[in-house]
DNA sequence: GTGTGGGCCGAGCGCCGACAA
DNA sequence: TTGTCGGCGCTCGGCCCACAC
């Protein structure tokens, strides 16, 4: 077992896994809304959210079998000691590993609260993402590159040759090199990737509906990522793992860490969690919970990621504010806001969101602010010490 | 969440996973030494053993991060409510799921102890297993069937045709049908599988070193299984799973079940655990621990599985008897026997075994029996009630 | 008895422009 | 602008034997 230099006992990354160095590529594959908190900053951890994620992986409801952890609050304020970005060797699935240390009430009180809002995720500008068509993934042909994308992202072709051809080299998350023949031909003229494309498709087991990303990083390297379509049920290949055990394990680890002031490790898969995360920057939490007035009937905006990995704003109205699970996680702010969505695609949007996910339209409220939440539901998890710091 | 008819709250099998019906095939793929206990019988569960298995999957040592479960004894006597055999949809990896209910001291005392030793695993007799060669898995050719195996297992060919040909149909663990052309040709004559073989190899992603099994079951069906070679490090594809969490979860689930007299679920992968299991029949445990005299210097035999899935006997000498982990699991009999192996391949054999794995050669001890273990280390985990039942 | 390689035939991979949406 | 198709050349998948250990 490796320990880091800080000596805090945080868990080393699993041996044998590739460390992801291409931060841009990781963020691009994770999605435009991903924003990891800064190492050394403070975050809020929601056991409830993490449990939801575990349950989601096995498509099973959280059952009542699990023991109670009465000393485990619905949210833990933690010091973030480490963030490591990973990509699964088999599937290229990206995820982050965080080492968290719950703070004692003492520590929570002692320190000032710098308003760090996390690393602004390095959203690459010079990149494109395309969802693969049946023709793209068939063995019959190559990859049809959208014209604007090719002109913006790919190196310019030498149009003196006919047809113009060049070799593209791109690296994936595991630093594996992929070579493609990029040609501009056909009638009408178009950009195509031919030789090298099919081996990439079969190696990554891509199917129609999955997406590929081409990105330039700061070091002038062309990066290549994939994003798989959300399939109905990705069967967990981990045969020995019981989701109950994982669920219990997460709760037990968090509770133990909180009780002994030690570290615990959580894994964060942005493709699953987004947009409802379970580790968020403390400053974001405080701003949303204590400095923002929210009430039933209020209008709000919220960012969502589309299939094409762009960002869209959706509008909605707050219909009620209450605990998601009053029995097991009383006074948790996680997904405490019930909302109604404006558009007809409302069925696809989740009916519950968290305060820090939405952007209230306070300037034009549809109804008068009857019950400002920030005043009615003060800080509670045994650490009223924060009251002195956060004025409201 | 589905509950079984017994109402005991045992966990249903994961939805969406194929239930394995071919018991023979399951056992064949699991290995010749596999023997699952009978439903309704009593077993002993070793949390320590299970933790070892979890650690093995990530090739990481069990660290000291985990909370203590002072109420969790080193072994739990449990009622076995359910055993389900599974095969991973992706990899065909076989594993069993067991629902266990820890018994109260009352229950342990009240009931008689029938000497069930588990289902004698249905070891198929009419079968063969071959480790694949480079030629077998190459795209250039088919599968070369060992002559004796073909003559014993495959249906007899019609030698009136030249060359003799027939179609073989076999079913795998997921009840998927595979068709092969079986031909007897070449100079010298040999049995080959040609058409259909390569699709099987690529579908199962078989490589040289993996094994295939052909088995006849009771219903006169030809079954087809695979057993992958032990590769250096099978990276766990489960990205969100922390082995710490799993480890803690298993301990917490077991401790909680023991405290509340409820059920918990364990997964058992015979290819990993063999031959040191963590769920064994109670009768086997009692026989080994209380009715067998073992001492330092004593000679013993032990069964091992060879690469070719046959069984071999190895001889050795007991060098010491002590707890594997006196601090965390005091008085556990799990791998309490340190041994030295006779052969030069000793480095490959584990240096510690459990009492129920070995077969002491009491008739010809090399050294006199100085410290019979059964007498020196009586039953302990708070249930001395068993003393009255097990005479010694 | 069985693993590997050469020969050799043909299915299908993969490159091309022609359409049409 | 780009998804799909018919065309067609050529690679390699796959069936055969010879040979060697």
User: Could you read off the pLDDT of B280-318 as tens digits, one per residue?
Assistant: 888 888 888 888 888 888 888 888 776 666 677 888 888
Which residue is listed with tokens 């405290």?
B259
Site from B139, B249, B266 to mutate, A interface, most A CB atoms within 10 angstroms = B249
The stretch A40-61 carries a mean pLDDT of: 71
Indicate the DSSP class of residue A128: E
Site from B9, B64, B98, B239 to mutate, A interface, most A CB atoms within 10 angstroms = B239
B53 contacts on A by Cβ (under 8 Å): 240
Give the per-residue pLDDT at A22: 76
Sequence-distant (6+) residues with CB within 8 A of B187 are none
- The answer to whether the beta carbon of residue B182 comes closer than 7 angstroms to any atom of strand D is no
- Interatomic CA distance for residues B165 and B179, integer angstroms: 13
The stretch A198-205 carries a mean pLDDT of: 94
Give the per-residue pLDDT at B108: 73
CB of A70 less than 8 A from some CB of B: no
Tell me which of A93 and B2 has the higher pLDDT. Answer: A93
Tell me which of A391 and B115 has the higher pLDDT. Answer: B115
Say which range, A96-105, B139-148, B159-168, has the weakest mean pLDDT: A96-105
Residue A365 binned pLDDT confidence (cut-offs 50, 70, 90)? very low
* Segments in chain B forming alpha helices (H): 23-30, 47-57, 105-110, 134-137, 147-153, 197-204, 243-260, 270-273, 282-290, 373-376
Burial B32-55 (b: 16+ CB within 10 A, else e): bbbbbbeeebbbbbbbbbbbbbbb
State chain A's mean pLDDT as an integer: 74
Give the per-residue pLDDT at B130: 92
Highest average pLDDT, of A57-66, A193-202, B250-259, comes from A193-202
How many residues does this entry show for chain B? Answer: 392
Give the per-residue pLDDT at B200: 96
Tell me which of B336 and B117 has the higher pLDDT. Answer: B336
- The answer to whether the beta carbon of residue A312 comes closer than 7 angstroms to any atom of strand D is no
Tell me which of B15 and B196 has the higher pLDDT. Answer: B196
Distance B223 CA to D16 C1' (A): 29
A245 contacts on B by Cβ (under 8 Å): 246, 249-250, 253, 265
Distance from CA of A254 to the nearest CA of B (A): 9
Determine whether the interchain pair A16/B91 forms a contact, defined as Cβ–Cβ distance below 8 Å: no
Give the per-residue pLDDT at A375: 40
Residue B253 binned pLDDT confidence (cut-offs 50, 70, 90)? confident
- The answer to whether the beta carbon of residue B166 comes closer than 7 angstroms to any atom of strand D is no
Give the per-residue pLDDT at B132: 94
Please state the domain extents for chain B. Answer: 23-123+238-383, 133-208
- Interatomic CA distance for residues A100 and A113, integer angstroms: 17
pLDDT at residue B372 above 60? no
pLDDT tens by residue, B90-101? 788 888 888 889
**CB within 7 A of strand D (chain B, 101-140):** 139-140
pLDDT tens by residue, A221-232? 899 999 888 754
Determine whether the interchain pair B238/A235 forms a contact, defined as Cβ–Cβ distance below 8 Å: no
Determine whether the interchain pair A242/B249 forms a contact, defined as Cβ–Cβ distance below 8 Å: yes
Neighbours of B363 (CB within 10 A): 6
B239 contacts on A by Cβ (under 8 Å): 86, 88, 93, 95, 267, 269
Pull the structure tokens for residue B144. 């070369």
pLDDT at residue B243 above 80? no
Determine whether the interchain pair B54/A14 forms a contact, defined as Cβ–Cβ distance below 8 Å: no
Distance from CA of B382 to the nearest CA of A (A): 23
The stretch A101-125 carries a mean pLDDT of: 64
8 A C-beta contact, residue B35 and residue B121: yes
Q: Name the protein residue, with chain letter, whose CA is nearest the C1' of D17.
A: B186
Determine whether the interchain pair B244/A242 forms a contact, defined as Cβ–Cβ distance below 8 Å: no
The H or E element containing residue A54 is helix A47-57
Tell me which of A46 and A245 has the higher pLDDT. Answer: A46
Give the per-residue pLDDT at A110: 61
CATH number of B133-208: 2.40.330.10
Give the per-residue pLDDT at B387: 41
Q: Which residues pair with B22 in a beta bridge?
A: none
CB of B121 less than 8 A from some CB of A: no
Task: Measure CB to CB from residue A253 to each of B233, B244, B267 and give the nearest one.
Answer: B244
CB of A92 less than 8 A from some CB of B: no
pLDDT at residue B384 above 90? no
pLDDT tens by residue, B174-213? 989 999 999 999 988 999 999 999 999 999 999 999 999 9
Distance B140 CA to C8 C1' (A): 13
- Interatomic CA distance for residues B47 and B45, integer angstroms: 6
- The answer to whether the beta carbon of residue A197 comes closer than 7 angstroms to any atom of strand C is yes
pLDDT at residue A308 above 70? no
Residue B38 binned pLDDT confidence (cut-offs 50, 70, 90)? confident
The H or E element containing residue B44 is strand B42-45
CB of A375 less than 8 A from some CB of B: no
- Interatomic CA distance for residues A249 and B247, integer angstroms: 7
Determine whether the interchain pair B242/A54 forms a contact, defined as Cβ–Cβ distance below 8 Å: no
Give the per-residue pLDDT at B65: 56
8 A C-beta contact, residue A263 and residue A8: yes
The strands making up B264-268's β-sheet, listed across from edge to edge, are B264-268, B94-102, B76-87, B42-45, B279-281
Task: Measure CB to CB from residue B238 to each of A233, A241, A252 and give the nearest one.
Answer: A241
Q: Name the protein residue, with chain letter, whose CA is nearest the C1' of D18.
A: B187
Residue B121 binned pLDDT confidence (cut-offs 50, 70, 90)? low
Give the per-residue pLDDT at B116: 52
CB of B253 less than 8 A from some CB of A: yes
Give the per-residue pLDDT at A61: 46
Give the per-residue pLDDT at B244: 62
- The answer to whether the beta carbon of residue A154 comes closer than 7 angstroms to any atom of strand D is no
- The answer to whether the beta carbon of residue A192 comes closer than 7 angstroms to any atom of strand C is yes
Q: Which residues pair with A191 in a beta bridge?
A: A145, A184
pLDDT at residue B222 above 50? yes
Task: Measure CB to CB from residue A239 to each of B88, B239, B240 and give the nearest one.
Answer: B88
Neighbours of A19 (CB within 10 A): 11
- Kindly identify which residue of chain B lies nearest to residue A245, measuring between CA atoms: B249
Determine whether the interchain pair B250/A246 forms a contact, defined as Cβ–Cβ distance below 8 Å: no
Which residue is listed with tokens 């004796």?
B148
Tell me which of B67 and A116 has the higher pLDDT. Answer: B67
């Amino acid at each position: 077992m490796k320990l880091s230099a800080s000596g805090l006992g945080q868990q080393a990354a699993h041996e044998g896994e590739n460390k992801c160095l291409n931060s841009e590529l990781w963020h691009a594959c994770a999605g435009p809304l991903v924003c990891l908190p800064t190492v050394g900053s403070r975050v809020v951890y929601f056991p409830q959210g993490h449990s939801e994620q575990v349950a989601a992986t096995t498509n099973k409801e959280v059952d009542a079998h699990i023991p109670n952890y009465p000393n485990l609050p619905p949210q833990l304020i933690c010091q973030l000691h480490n963030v490591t970005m990973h990509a699964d060797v088999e599937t290229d699935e990206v995820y982050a590993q965080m080492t968290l240390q719950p703070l004692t009430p003492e520590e929570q009180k002692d320190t000032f609260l710098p308003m760090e809002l996390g690393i602004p995720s390095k959203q690459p500008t010079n990149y494109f993402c395309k969802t693969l068509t049946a023709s793209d993934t068939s063995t019959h042909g190559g990859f049809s590159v959208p014209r604007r994308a090719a002109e913006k992202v790919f190196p310019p072709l030498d149009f003196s040759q006919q047809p113009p051809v060049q070799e593209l080299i791109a690296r994936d998350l595991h630093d594996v090199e992929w070579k493609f023949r990029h040609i501009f031909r056909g009638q009408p003229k178009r950009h195509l990737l031919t030789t090298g494309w099919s081996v990439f498709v079969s190696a990554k087991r891509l199917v129609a509906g999955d997406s590929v990303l081409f990105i330039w990083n700061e070091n002038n390297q062309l990066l290549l990522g994939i994003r798989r379509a959300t399939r109905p049920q990705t069967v967990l290949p981990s045969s020995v793992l019981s989701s109950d055990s994982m669920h219990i394990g997460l709760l037990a680890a968090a509770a133990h860490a909180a009780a002994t002031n030690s570290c615990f490790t959580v894994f964060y898969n942005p493709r699953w969690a987004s947009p409802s995360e379970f580790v968020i920057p403390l400053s974001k939490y405080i701003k949303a919970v204590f400095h923002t007035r929210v009430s039933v009937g209020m209008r709000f905006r919220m960012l969502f990621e589309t299939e094409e990995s762009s960002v869209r704003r959706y509008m909605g109205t707050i219909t009620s504010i209450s605990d998601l699970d009053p029995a097991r996680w009383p006074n948790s702010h996680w997904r405490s806001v019930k909302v109604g969505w404006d558009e007809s695609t409302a069925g696809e949007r989740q009916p519950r969101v968290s305060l820090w996910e939405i952007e209230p339209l306070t300037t034009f409220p549809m109804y008068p602010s009857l019950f400002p939440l920030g005043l009615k539901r003060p800080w509670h998890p045994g650490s009223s010490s924060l009251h002195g710091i956060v004025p409201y």
